[in-house]
Amino acid sequence: MLEQWLPIIYIFTGLLGLVIGSFLNVVIYRVPRKESLSFPASHCPGCNNPIKWYDNIPVISYMLLKGKCRSCKEKISPRYSIVELLNMLLWLACVFFLIQNSTTFLGEGITMENAVGYALVAMAFCSTLLVVFFIDLEHTYIPDRFHVIVLALAVIAICLNAFVPSLNDGIKFADRLIGGFGGGTLFLIIYFGSYLILKREAMGFADVKLVAVAGLLLGWQNTTLSIFLAAVSACVVLAVPHFMGKKDRFKEYPFAPYLTGGMIASMFIGKALITWYLSLMP
């Protein structure tokens, strides 16, 4: 039934993803600075002049203005367009992986129609993780409101499975509980263990909370895969300054960007990756 609407769904999802991505930029900039999300209206951080609507069109305005403010000519960070494009691509990925190819990536028995509910939750999850990625990357902390949002999304997914069986994501309630409790406990052990062994914090407590609430949404299998992918990618990236001779034992590096990347990857292709890995077992 949905097949004939897929082209329209892709177009609508892409455009809406860009618009929401523009709002995410406001969240990324204002929340760490404890500013209101609604007032004042969008303005240039340099000259404080309000941004006209035609200068606030996602991606297009940035290109037309050549990355500069129309009033003061101060450079505009390319992050704004990057966030808009990433959010659009992640939302389109939700349609591709979780709706169009739901059987392949969510499991047998999951139809295109009954994956819609989880895809909508996944879109909100992706946008939230995108905000967490950039805030932690710049400020090395995660505001608690985003943990609450992910927890709320997990509760919605659980309720969809329990009370609307046709909107199914193939993740069992027990798997979610194990994912939340197990992932949170593992990171809690690392958090307190670092104090006992290293005499300093090796991981922020915000990361513990992020894994716990995301585990409730993803289930223990995808949560385990998320942590593995995050650890591997962090080792690869952080090895670069080590081999370049830029050694700083006590420099603080944010871990949430790697966690969010692992979570998004496992949500989309976790089932396929785990199935492929198990197929290699003798």
- pLDDT per residue as tens digits for the range 117-170: 889 999 999 999 999 999 999 999 999 999 999 999 999 999 988 877 666 677
Residue 73: both structure tokens together = 């000519």
Please state, in angstroms and rounded to a whole number, the distance separating the CA atoms of residues 205 and 62: 37
Residue, of 183 and 279, whose pLDDT is higher:
183
Q: What residue spans define the domains of the chain?
A: 1-100, 103-282
Query: What angle, 0 to 180 degrees and rounded to 10, lies between the N-to-C axes of helices 116-139 and 144-163?
Result: 170
pTM, two decimals, is 0.91
Q: Average pLDDT of 228-239?
A: 91
Please state, in angstroms and rounded to a whole number, the distance separating the CA atoms of residues 33 and 13: 30
Q: What is the dihedral of CA 42, 48, 53, 56, to 10 degrees?
A: -70
Q: What are the Cα distances from residue 250, in Å, to 198, 233, 240? A: 11, 20, 16
Is residue 112 very low, low, confident or very high in pLDDT (cuts 50, 70, 90)? confident
Burial 224-259 (b: 16+ CB within 10 A, else e): bbbbebbeebbeeeeeeeeeeeeeeeeeeebbbbbb
Residue, of 246 and 227, whose pLDDT is higher:
227
Is residue 95 very low, low, confident or very high in pLDDT (cuts 50, 70, 90)? very high
